[in-house]
Structure 1
Amino acid sequence: SRIHRSYCIFPSVEALKTGDAALIAEKVKEYLEKHEQVPLNIAVTGETGSGKSSFVNAFRGVDNKDENAAATGCVETTKEVKSYNHPKYPNVTLWDLPGIGTTMFPADKYLKLVGFKKFDFFIIISADRFRENDAKLAQEIQKMGKKFYFVRTKIDLDMKNQERSQRDFNEKNNLHRIRKNCIEGLEKLLIPSPKVFLISNFDLHLYDFERLCNTLEKELPQHQQHVLLLALPNISQEVCNKKREVLQAKIQYYALMSAVGAAVPLPGTSTVVDASIILAFVTKCEDVFHIDGGELLLSLVKEPVKSGGKLTLALILRVLSSSILSTSLKATEEGTRFIPGIGIPIAMGLSSLTTYNALKFFLDNFTKAALETEGLC
């Protein structure tokens, strides 16, 4: 098949025949974990009441009322530097910083007091116009060799107010005017070509949030780009498809681990290994796409969907057993394992192909479910 030609791992099979299968499997696992645990630290700052904490919550996909949410309010609720880990990706941390220019955090000492070195980039937030303290902070950040982005929040409220007061309301023209005013104001404060993004913390799919994320992704070092992407909310079809591409690229490594399991000359070993590999990948899809895996898999086997259905190894095996291709390939793999001389290499190739196709099947279904849930298709 086309998939088999593109992702065939028979060269690795030759290496496995003369190498330590367990060691190779461990190296593959380490490689995947290393790339998934790259730290990303995002600083979020701005004046009191600008929507900093709401932005921290929205970016992590956490409701403001959640017990793990950053405290929000129109008075200064952030009195110290607080870190908030992404609920699914603890290596992604958003730091809610106190408002610049407060008594405890004066503008001239701000970066030193908040510990700027640990941050990968800064989001500077305002709910109206950016002020002198924002510009001073940006200039100091630039001196330190870090990147910064200006985010104008509460745009949804602005649009509602403008619609009430303007006879010929035009959203596009109003957005252009607000963005232009922000840029010109920052340029007067000696910030050349500032990057300004208009967002609503409660409707991320509107306005510039996706443009902000695209900019961050492009300007981050390559090893952090996928970390950011997988942690994002499902705000658009493009984001969901990019997530799919990242996970698709990982499938060949899971398939290689499946081939290692097939190298063990014991009946049933490969099936157990493959099921565990598939469970790990499906759990990853569940986290990336924010979809209940148990509910999705129950729907795939045409069974009544229970809210909060548990994602289990048994459920995955039931889904796979309903696939004629998967079942026949697995039976062929078990049968060829004991052919003298060539049995194990053939079984390894079949195992990798079976696992590859199974993972692609689950990935396609999670992507589709995410798009449908968010009303993006």
Structure 2
Amino acid sequence: MAYETKLDPEDHIYLEPDELIKNLKVSTAEEASAKLRDHIDNLENVSLNVAITGMTGAGKSTFISALRGLNDDEEESSPTGVTETTMVPTMFPHPSMPNVKIWDLPGIGSPKFKAKQYLRDVKFDTYDFFIILSADRFKENDLMLAEEIKKKNKPFYFVRSKIDNDIRSEKKKKKFNEQQVLSKIKDDCRRNLKKLGDPKVFLVSSHELEKYDFQALMDHLEGDLPEHKRYALVQSLPVCSLQVLEKKKQYLRRMIWLTAFGSGAIAMTTIPGLAAGCDIGIVMAFFTRSFQAFGLDEKSLQSLSERVNKPVDELKSVMKSCFANGITVEVVRTFFSTSKVDIAMKVEYVLSSIPLMGALPAGGISLGTIFHLLSKGLNQMADDAKAVLKVAGLE
């Protein structure tokens, strides 16, 4: 039998707890809950190692800082300079997702460059994929490295950086046409890379990720990565456009189902009051992750403020949800105080007090309640993030 919980007219949540436990290949609700929690932990903590390489002066350090949502002059950013600043592989963890690691690899500009030796020296197997940067034409060393990576069956991507500089320079000409300039640059890069077949080239500005091919690059990375690593990639991206925001929201909504099922399994333990105590922690953890992923935390807003030259207070002024000042226990408890949720939790408590008979419907009510709470909170935070993007001029 399927149990239905309707908390809002648009919510239709169905759960068969006995089937859930059967599919998880466990014998008890406690084991189901533990297995679901392990699955969520694995998704959230899967390692992702990104290698950034290219010729000296290609803008690797600035690109790495941009991927991490930082500005060049922030303390945690990758050091920049007119000379080669990276002599050995240097790892930079993502500020809010330490399991995502971006590696600044040594430049490949030496006349005596040997691709095979280079990949051995930088420990090739460490990385999930390589991004090869160039600020102008891709050189012979770029091609040699790509060919060697290709032989080892690992993804690599060509990124033509500093496109904003090219556009500013071309704007001085009388017959300036931005699309023609971009097409010319891309075609020129492809001609230099014809030895590799027809590799895709992405035009990117590290100072304006919302423009040009950054989103297309991320879409290709997402499609090429194993499924369990896509979540880490998408959640680590800086919120620089509505497309990135919507992508993050899609992945977080998938996590709502896992979290809600975990809550339903907890309720099936038939220990009165256990679910309510655990649910707050579950919701707190999910909301905190979402808040950071949407770039609504103080540090992310400060970085955005500096990048778009808008005061932090102006950005925060459009955040209308109860999460505007952060995620706290008090804020989460307000979600449990609404009449519909309060009634659902009281019914769950009574049902879970009845040995065996109450376990299944209690699980369904818990799942419906938590799904409702997480969906409602996620939508409110997404609306805040959209409003911030609009004020920042990045919508």
Confirm or deny a common fold (TM above 0.5): yes
Give 2:311's aligned residue: none
How far has the Cα of 1:80 moved from its partner?
Answer: 1.1
Select the residue among 341, 352, 370 that pairs with 1:355.
370
Give 1:256's aligned residue: 261
Select the residue among 41, 44, 56 that pairs with 2:52.
44
Q: Which moved more, 1:259-268 or 1:239-248?
A: 259-268
TM-score norm. by structure 2 comes to 0.84
Give 2:388's aligned residue: 373
CA contact (8 A) 1:150 1:196 kept: yes
Question: 1:283-362 alignment to 2 at 5 Å?
Answer: 283-292=288-297, 299-301=320-322, 309-321=325-337, 323-338=338-353, 342-362=357-377
CA contact (8 A) 1:7 1:252 kept: no
CA contact (8 A) 1:101 1:133 kept: yes
- Rounded to whole Å, the distance in 1 between the matches of 2:352 and 2:221 is 48
CA contact (8 A) 2:53 2:107 kept: yes
How far has the Cα of 1:167 moved from its partner?
Answer: 0.3
Question: 1:225-304 alignment to 2 at 5 Å?
Answer: 225-265=230-270, 267-292=272-297, 299-301=320-322
Give 2:307's aligned residue: none
How far has the Cα of 1:335 moved from its partner?
Answer: 3.8
- Rounded to whole Å, the distance in 2 between the matches of 1:114 and 1:338 is 59
Q: 1:13 to 1:147 in 2, by over 3 A?
A: closer
How far has the Cα of 1:11 moved from its partner?
Answer: 3.5
Q: What amino acid sits opposite 2:248 in the alignment?
A: K
CA contact (8 A) 1:258 1:351 kept: yes
**Deviation string for 1:85-137 (max 9, x for gaps)?**
11222221111011113389655622121111212211111111111111111
Three-state SS of the structure 1 residue aligned to 2:73 is: coil
* Structure of greater relative contact order (alpha carbons < 8 Å, 6+ residues apart): 2
How far has the Cα of 1:145 moved from its partner?
Answer: 1.7
CA contact (8 A) 1:71 1:77 kept: yes
How far has the Cα of 1:82 moved from its partner?
Answer: 0.5
Q: 1:20 to 1:3 in 2, by over 3 A?
A: farther
CA contact (8 A) 1:81 1:114 kept: yes
Three-state SS of the structure 2 residue aligned to 1:93 is: strand
Q: Which moved more, 1:367-376 or 1:261-270?
A: 261-270
Three-state SS of the structure 2 residue aligned to 1:136 is: helix
Q: Structure 1 unaligned segments of length 5 or more: list them.
A: none
**Deviation string for 1:52-93 (max 9, x for gaps)?**
111111111122222221111111111111111112222211
How far has the Cα of 1:374 moved from its partner?
Answer: 1.7
Q: What amino acid sits opposite 1:331 in the alignment?
A: K
TM-score norm. by structure 1 comes to 0.88
Give 1:23's aligned residue: 31
Three-state SS of the structure 2 residue aligned to 1:286 is: helix
CA contact (8 A) 2:134 2:161 kept: yes
Q: Which moved more, 1:252-261 or 1:212-221?
A: 252-261
- Rounded to whole Å, the distance in 1 between the matches of 2:356 and 2:53 is 64
Q: Which moved more, 1:258-267 or 1:137-146?
A: 258-267
Select the residue among 57, 60, 68 that pairs with 2:68.
60
How far has the Cα of 1:324 moved from its partner?
Answer: 2.8
CA contact (8 A) 1:199 1:207 kept: yes
How far has the Cα of 1:225 moved from its partner?
Answer: 1.9
Select the residue among 130, 142, 150 that pairs with 2:150.
142
Three-state SS of the structure 1 residue aligned to 2:193 is: helix
- Rounded to whole Å, the distance in 2 between the matches of 1:292 and 1:299 is 14
How far has the Cα of 1:158 moved from its partner?
Answer: 0.7
- Rounded to whole Å, the distance in 1 between the matches of 2:168 and 2:21 is 65
How far has the Cα of 1:328 moved from its partner?
Answer: 2.4
How far has the Cα of 1:8 moved from its partner?
Answer: 2.4
CA contact (8 A) 1:13 1:349 kept: no
Select the residue among 178, 181, 185 that pairs with 2:192.
185
* 2:162 matches 1:175: no
How far has the Cα of 1:13 moved from its partner?
Answer: 7.2
Q: 1:103 to 1:168 in 2, by over 3 A?
A: closer
Give 1:97's aligned residue: 105
How far has the Cα of 1:234 moved from its partner?
Answer: 1.7
How far has the Cα of 1:4 moved from its partner?
Answer: 5.7
CA contact (8 A) 2:294 2:381 kept: yes
- Rounded to whole Å, the distance in 2 between the matches of 1:142 and 1:340 is 60
- Rounded to whole Å, the distance in 1 between the matches of 2:280 and 2:78 is 38
Q: What amino acid sits opposite 1:236 in the alignment?
A: S
How far has the Cα of 1:203 moved from its partner?
Answer: 0.6
How far has the Cα of 1:292 moved from its partner?
Answer: 3.0
User: Percent sequence identity over matched residues?
Assistant: 36
Q: Structure 2 unaligned segments of length 5 or more: list them.
A: 1-5, 299-315
Q: What amino acid sits opposite 2:360 in the alignment?
A: P
- Rounded to whole Å, the distance in 2 between the matches of 1:121 and 1:340 is 52
Q: Which moved more, 1:227-236 or 1:5-14?
A: 5-14
Q: What amino acid sits opposite 2:340 in the alignment?
A: L
Three-state SS of the structure 2 residue aligned to 1:253 is: helix
Q: What amino acid sits opposite 1:214 in the alignment?
A: D
- C-alpha RMSD over aligned residues: 2.6
